[in-house]
Amino acid sequence: MNRPRRWFGKGDRRVLSLTLPIILSNATVPLLGAVDTAVVGHLDSPHYIGAVAVGALVFSYVFWSFGFLRMATTGLAAQAYGRRDPNGVRAVFARAALIAIVAGLAVMVLQWPIIELSMSLIAPTQAVEAAARDYFHVRIWASPATLMQYCMLGWLLAMRDSRAVFIFQVVLNSLNIILDILFVQGFGWDVKGVAGATVIADYSGVVLGWFLMQPHLKRLGGTWRGIGILDRSQIARLMKINGDIFIRTMALTSAFALFTSFSARFGEVTLAANAVLQNFLMFGSFALDGFAHAAETLVGQAYGAERRKQFLWAVRKTTIWGLVSAVAMVIVFAAVGPWIIDALTSIPEVRDASYEYLLWAVILPVTGVLGFQFDGVFLGAMQTKHWRNMMLVSVGIYGLMAWGAVAMGSNHLLWASFNAFFLLRGVTLAILFPTIIPDRRAAAV
């Protein structure tokens, strides 16, 4: 006699035990963004909010162009772990760390052309640009540390150590928040204080990350010697994957850049209001990322071991819980949205504009949940070609919609196109999902 299937069983507890610490730790990231906005949002002009938004956008472009350091590290290390290859797990991190150090130093050397090109493309007002430059020239010195953190977080996620990820994120972002308040409200350093807090916190994070990796290195066994960091075939594979992730990440970052750039066309108040409302997106996205990270880890290990049943189970469970969390966030945002806006800024005209467009920010978790989930699935399977192509399609359609919104002079339509972009990410990947299920694939990446 078959027992009735329980709605909440061991599998659900397994997913939630991996996901909830990640969600809690991820929650500190948008909290940090909210504090960044709040500490300057209570200064005497809206241009400070716009400056932090523009400066953060530039660094999103710069740093997330190397987002493969986190994403490829998780997928490749999880697959090596699934194959029970300890030296392979070590080698994945070592290759990523080498790239992080070299790339971080290169970004610092190239800081002048980066900021000049960024300002010419975004074209903010004079006051916003001046403050954004101040922010940039301080935060740029965190580049090697920021990129190294991507490698460490990706590797810890592959080890399914959500506790270490929680400790890492909470300590790092708590330090950043404390320094934010001290430097801006205490010392009066405005946007330079926000940037300086990030620099100190990021270098502190590298030390903490290395400490958190040690128990796993001892448990895995293996050695750093003879792991083939410069193995040509592995580097060629890594560069192919990294190329796909780079293109996809730049396309995603371009979607956010378009939103900020087009927001600036509507004036300082609308730019500031949209920046305030993007904090809702950060809260929603980093919560949904918890289930996406769980999908990436569980799918990667199942894919590396070529276990079809385990693969489908991981996709199903993480997606169900992702949908549940998306609906819950919409309910919470709808209930406390005005209060969050008031906490982020005291400027009356920015508050009023934020209330007007609040609904669009509230529904983002539901329009975006499938995109986040399938990001994790395709990354875990390292099927980055499909992942890249569908992002390009989604951004292309969104760009046309956003341009039309600006041409019609409607910030409501700009927000509608932003929601459509998130929905397209999920729908396009869902269509291709059957092609990557184990035993149906032509070959591994």
Give the pLDDT mean for 22-39.
63
Per-residue confidence (pLDDT) for residue 296, from 0 to 100: 80
Question: Which of 3-7, 268-272, 290-294 shows the lowest mean pLDDT across its residues?
Answer: 3-7
Strand (E) or helix (H) holding 315: helix 308-344
Does 7 score more than 60 pLDDT? no
Structure tokens at 440: 């149906």
pLDDT of residue 210: 94
pLDDT in tens, 287-311: 788 788 788 888 877 887 677 888 8
Are 49 and 354 a contacting pair, CB within 8 Å? no
Residue 8: predicted pLDDT: 62
Computed over every residue of the chain, the mean pLDDT equals 83
**Distance separating alpha carbons of residues 345 and 396, to the nearest angstrom:** 33
Alpha-carbon distance of 59 to 62, in angstroms, equals 5
Burial grade of 45 (CB within 10 A; 0-12, 13-18, 19 or more): middle
Taking only the tens place, the pLDDT of each residue in 341-394 is 888 888 888 899 999 999 999 999 999 999 999 988 888 887 888 888 999 999
pLDDT tens per residue across span 72-112: 888 788 888 877 888 888 888 988 898 899 999 999 999 89
DSSP 100-134: HHHHHHHHHHTHHHHHHHHHHHH---HHHHHHHHH
Q: What crossing angle do the helices spanning 232-264 and 68-82 adopt, rounded to 10°?
A: 140
Mean pLDDT within 66-70: 80
Residue 442: predicted pLDDT: 39
The reported pLDDT for the residue numbered 403 is 93
Residue-wise pLDDT tens digits, 196-240: 998 999 999 999 999 999 999 888 887 777 667 777 777 777 778
Q: Which residue has the higher pLDDT, 381 or 415?
A: 415
Select the more confidently predicted residue: 165 or 124.
Answer: 165
Q: pLDDT band for position 441 (50/70/90)?
A: very low
Task: Specify the higher pLDDT residue, 120 or 428.
Answer: 428
Work out the percent of the chain whose per-residue pLDDT is above 70: 89
The alpha helices in 123-189, defined as continuous H runs, are 126-139, 143-158, 162-181
Question: Cα separations (Å) of 438 from 80, 293, 299, 303?
Answer: 16, 19, 10, 7
Higher pLDDT: 408 or 444? It is 408
Residue for token digits 């697959």? 79
